[in-house]
Structure 1
């Protein structure tokens, strides 16, 4: 590479003067067969399939199979894959016994913070070895085990933090329904389980976002699967990445009633404040995930869904008036919060629920990256004082 990047799509930008755009916005750093986001079209896909269509027509395990093994399973493959996953949901005894103390120590930070430590413990307990030292089959097996354990770890940490006993996973329930069962202790209503499953499918992967890129950078060093996933979770925990669903719902709470929408939004826009749940660094049109989740919310109906739609309409109208020429629409977080609230998930579990899905996408990216032994090692342009300068004598 000669220091410049070809403008591969309308959303990809060139490096100029040897310096990439801030945040590497639009810079193409590798090739992937896992999927892409076409921001100007409002479209994204997993391999060759529309992600939203997959969420409408397939179950979570099917999409997991697609991301890991490259194909959508037929009936026999689906049954075999489910049977392979089910026992991996159970935690080793040494990890189980450590969770109460971990939940107490992370009570103020929440389950996602606890997951970073719990997942590291799981990897150490299972003897996960560096990707660099493993063949592709062993790498995939480690990734499968780590992904399957994440819902069990998160729900156990949450329940322990609430003074409740963890609920053991059930092998007869699909991924999303089992997650809700472990969270609440009750078999979920099928309509709500399917709504959560569609949300999970829609958030499995989304291009080279911050957490996915973090996972791939760590994978490029040859580290083990859990090291890659722990780094990705750290990136996800930032409010500018995965922390927005509950914050978007907080916005609806702060507005409160329909008559307060306009003055509340106008005040925030004029003050230059960010309105959580609106705008996206890639999409220049409506986020297709938001469109799907709006449909799910409207299917449930009720005051919250109706209010969310009214707020969306007024925010977009006010933004068009005060910031003409800018395309600002709801992103996935806005209606994700509404759907999860309607499905009975506690707000402190909104971002962890995102993680329950995205861990599959991270892992698929880790496996893809591990096939390329080149370490990711960019450069920085130094702008500090001119070196070398004499080191002053110690006083």
Structure 2
């Protein structure tokens, strides 16, 4: 009898639904420590980076493993700025992509545009190229995505795309391409802090998706297209605009208590509150609250009061559960204050997360082992006779 016939198969281990908390790989890119309310990019606090370094510096950190010095920072910023311009065949196809996705929005269009960009740029499977070539591909696509997103948005609004400017930093150029006007420094700085704070955030669904695809050896554009698809799901990417919709629905301070209690007692989720990992205040929310308060105004005051009352009501009605604002709550407020249209809130998040996804793809590509988990079959026991037609 052959060894194959005598082999016994151990039952696969039981794991939590959704792989919650299961360690699937090692990474040097960062982590989220939910019990502490802390997350980091490599060895640095992500919030501290958002408060003290440029988006390009953090991009460099994620791709190269360390923060750049001044000369390296300037060179990297200039290099990535030069990659913002789209190939003619991609640029010419954007009007058709925008028309086809008129009701779905820029994020849906980005999936098509990313695939086209990768094909136009001649991206090859990460399995077939060396680490330098992989990094070049990742740089190119991360630099081009803001141009793709803003162009798709403007075309969807019946406006002409605005060409990128090489002399503006990442965040300022993004706002410029979106609005056609050079942004005020305070608005550019606020958006940059938001972008840095959302570059990476542990092994969330879209990051895991990107790594699974990378483990097959597929090209960078394919990996990133899959990540965008995962992000588009409302249970993952959500939308900061939904938190603003909550503020709009409440409308006035005297309506907060009744409006929130009714929905909590009905078992509805309060958008902008709660997080699957954090059991303390989301550090991103804390930072963005500070950014919003630096602008001030009625919207900020109302948001702070809603946060105060919602947390008190949740503590009363759901004792023992730590439910605080998540990144969506104040992100929506900050982006509203900075003049971004609500339909561009999640695409803006995507523009930043491209860097984190790409860094994960680069790391995964160094490991040739394909990610191939198992499933437990729970259907009708086989084999059964196939019935006659």
TM-score w.r.t. the length of structure 1 is 0.95
> What is the aligned partner in structure 1 of residue 357 from structure 2?
362
Structure 1 segments unaligned to the other structure (5+ residues): 1-15
Larger displacement relative to structure 2 (16-25 or 194-203): 16-25
Determine the structure 2 residue equivalent to 1:314. 309
Q: Secondary structure at the match of 2:31?
A: strand
Does the alignment pair 1:54 with 2:33?
A: no
**Inter-partner Cα distance in structure 1 for 2:113 and 2:166:** 22
Deviation at 1:17, TM superposition (A): 7.8
Q: 2:187 aligns with which of 192, 200, 209?
A: 192
Partner residue, 1:285:
280
Per the alignment, residue 11 of structure 1 pairs with none
Greater Cα shift, 83-92 or 152-161: 83-92
Question: How many angstroms does 1:202 deviate by?
Answer: 0.2
Q: In structure 2, what is the Cα distance between the partners aligned to 1:301 and 1:239?
A: 30
Partner of 2:245: 250
Q: Which one of the candidate residues 193, 216, 221 is aligned to 1:221?
A: 216
In the alignment, which of 34, 41, 59 is matched to residue 64 of structure 1?
59
Look up the SS of the partner of 1:89 in the other structure.
coil
1:176 aligns with 2:171: yes
Give the whole-Å Cα distance in 1 for the aligned partners of 2:21 and 2:112.
Answer: 33
Counterpart in 1 of 2:5?
none
Report SS of the residue matched to 1:62.
Answer: helix
**2:127 counterpart SS class:** helix
**What is the RMSD of the two structures over their aligned residues, measured on CA atoms?**
0.9
Partner of 2:7: none
CA distance in 2 between counterparts of 1:140 and 1:252 reads: 42
Q: CA separation in 1, counterparts of 2:205 and 2:283?
A: 20
Whole-Å Cα distance in 2 between the matches of residues 170 and 321 of structure 1? Answer: 51
**Superposed displacement of residue 242, structure 1:** 1.4
Q: Does 1:326 align with 2:326?
A: no
Give yes or no for the alignment of 1:27 onto 2:35. no
Q: Distance in 2 between matches of 1:277 and 1:24?
A: 24
Partner of 1:44, secondary structure, is strand
Following TM superposition, by how much is the alpha carbon of 1:244 offset from its aligned partner in structure 2, in angstroms?
2.4
- Aligned-pair CA distance for 1:261: 0.4
Partner in structure 2 of residue 275 of structure 1: 270
Aligned counterparts of 2:101 and 2:94: Cα–Cα separation in 1: 10
* Match of residue 379 from structure 1: 374
C-alpha distance after superposition, 1:53-72 (max 9, x if no partner): 00000000000000000111
Aligned residue for 2:200? Answer: 205
* Whole-Å separation in 2 of the counterparts to 1:325 and 1:285: 12
**Structure 2 regions of 5+ residues with no counterpart?**
1-10
**Alignment partners' CA distance in 1, 2:304 and 2:388:** 67
Say whether residues 1:76 and 2:43 are aligned partners: no
Task: Indicate whether 1:120 and 2:105 are aligned.
Answer: no
Count of aligned pairs between the two proteins: 379
Asked whether 1:41 is paired with 2:36, we answer yes
Runs of 4+ off more than 3 Å: none
2:236 corresponds in structure 1 to 241
